[in-house]
Amino acid sequence: MSMETRRIRKVLSGNHAASYAVKLANVDVIPIYPITPQTTIVEKIVDFVENNEMKAEVIHADSEHSAMAAAIGASASGARVYTATSSHGLLYMYEMIWWAANARLPIVAGFVTRSIGPPWNIWSDHNDYLTLRDSGWIMFFASSAQEVFDMTLQAFKVAENPRVRLPVGVAWDGFQISHSFEPVELLRQEEVDAFLPDPRDIKPLLNVDEPISIGNLPIATDNMMFRESIWRSMERARDYIKDVMNEYRALSRRNYGYLIEEYKAMDAETIFITMGAISGDAKIAVDKLRENGERVGLARIRVIRPMPVTDLVRLGRIANNIVVIDRNVSMGLGGILAREIKSIFYDFYVETPTYGFITGLAGTEVSPEDYIKIYRMVLDGEVEPSTNIWYYHGGVMK
Amino acid sequence: MNPEEILYPISKPSKGSSGPTWMWRFTKPVIYIDKCTKCGLCWVYCPEATINILENGFPKIDYEYCKGCGICDNVCPVDAIEMVNEYGD
């Protein structure tokens, strides 16, 4: 590579990696409201705008609900829009979250995961983000600052595809990713401009020459058809996301897999399924266990909606044991990923024992040693697949 | 339904897209032209755009679509609009 085509590498936090992606994506409108641990994303974006490094309209909203409402208005007018939030801010935004999906608006948002109070907290678990799972948002989950940067750019391309036209969320863990600094390789502006569609090609819903209203009362059957239309777009998006990630992989020379990243899973007898920051500890645990001859692998979920059904079924058929690590819980049912994966396995006659561990809630530590202990519990027959095991750092509470 | 088609929940403005909404009405606004000052407030406030301003400047109500909400009666500054019971007392 000559000097002119060299890419910039910076030491960035996960949040600042998102800010740089938003800057390179030439986003038009950014409605914002601060909340820990999201705030540094929009602080950095405001820096860019104030220093004339980026030309965008920043709207200082009076709440997250208003921020998403402003995002909806801007997106309906054909602008490229980004916003970000966490935890209680996301829940306050929640009504407008559904509005954005049902109105088919290609908004991209960053969700920095954080527990929901009370009691008060600032540390990560995934329950806030997983409230989006029935809404019609496409849901990405990153596990490094570099991946935050890459996924945010991919999100715009997926959202704006005329055959998809759905909002895309990109999530990453609060503090563990959002405030940890890592080397991040940025794409050059020309590369991003060539990769992303021209924002002027976004088909605006609103047009002053042809007035319409969005969301008027339809008959009930039409209303159901709108929901089915979202369903079909979501099903189509599964293949399209792979295409976008493939194109991006050729461009960036970085390979995370597609909807799922596999790590030493091909010949594994026991496969961990994880999501987000704690997947890094799982990789270390896999390496340590493999040094002792244990055939262990890892599958990290990168896209939760649309659910990577065929990838999961394939892994279920390879393995003798599937161990799902949930950093979330659905009260009265179990870990959300474990329960969803079990229901997929049932559909496809996969009878592999599938264990669900609920751990890392409210930012509790999940270390490589914890994965090794969980592995021992499963192989020594200490736990049943039908139970939801509450695993704390160090073990199960007696 | 074409499975490839994306449905947008949008609608274009059209007259009476919810049918003949006069049927929703219990009381009907009547304009006393002799009191009217042509201020146009009833035209501004009518939520269903059923009040039109004639060439001579006076308002005229489209009773086919007026739902009888009574907002025009409320906003009229000179009491030139009265709600009358359509079905007698």
| Token pair belonging to A222 | 């039409």
Instruction: List, as one string, the DSSP characters of A89-138.
Output: HHHHHHHHHHHHHHTT---EEEEEE----SSP-----SHHHHTTTTTT-E
- Is B62 contained in some domain? yes
| Token pair belonging to A313 | 């079924």
Question: Helix or strand or coil: residue A173?
Answer: strand
Write out the residue range of the structural domain in which residue B54 sits.
Answer: 34-85
- Is B76 contained in some domain? yes
Residues of B in contact with A216 (CB under 8 A): 9-11
Question: Helix or strand or coil: residue A202?
Answer: coil
Judged by CB atoms closer than 8 Å, whether chains meet at A205 and B12 is answered as no
Above pLDDT 70, what percent of chain A?
99
- Is B48 contained in some domain? yes
Put simply, whether A347 touches B (Cβ < 8 Å) is: no
Q: Over the stretch A328-372, which tens digit does the pLDDT of each residue have?
A: 999 999 999 999 999 999 999 999 999 999 999 999 999 999 999
- Is B14 contained in some domain? no
- Quick one: fold of A3-252? Rossmann fold (3.40.50)
Mean pLDDT score, A17-28: 98
> Residue B85: CA atoms inside 13 Å, Cβ hemisphere, count?
3
- Is B28 contained in some domain? no
The pTM assigned to this predicted structure is 0.90
* ipTM here: 0.84
Tally the domains of chain B: 1
Please tell me the distance from the alpha carbon of residue A126 to that of residue A249, in angstroms, as a whole number: 27
| Token pair belonging to A302 | 């990168």
Judged by CB atoms closer than 8 Å, whether chains meet at B8 and A104 is answered as yes
Predicted pLDDT of residue A67: 98
Choose the closest CB to A232 out of B3, B8, B18: B3
Residue B77: give its domain's CATH number: 3.30.70.20
| CATH 3.40.50.920, domain A260-396, yes or no | yes
> Which of B1, B2, B10 best probes binding to A when mutated, by most A CB atoms within 10 angstroms?
B10
Question: Helix or strand or coil: residue A357?
Answer: strand
| Token pair belonging to B32 | 């006393």
Q: Which residues contact B24 (CB under 8 A, 6 or more apart)?
A: B67, B68
Please tell me the distance from the alpha carbon of residue A242 to that of residue A235, in angstroms, as a whole number: 12
Put simply, whether A163 touches B (Cβ < 8 Å) is: yes
Domains A3-252 and A260-396 share a fold: yes
Q: Over the stretch B38-74, which tens digit does the pLDDT of each residue have?
A: 999 999 999 988 999 999 999 999 999 999 999 999 9
- Is B24 contained in some domain? no
Residue A391 has pLDDT above 90, yes or no: yes
For chain A, what are the domain ranges?
3-252, 260-396
Residue A187 · residue A153 · CB < 8 Å = yes
Considering only CA atoms, give the Rg of chain B.
17
What pLDDT band is residue B89 in, cutting at 50, 70 and 90? low
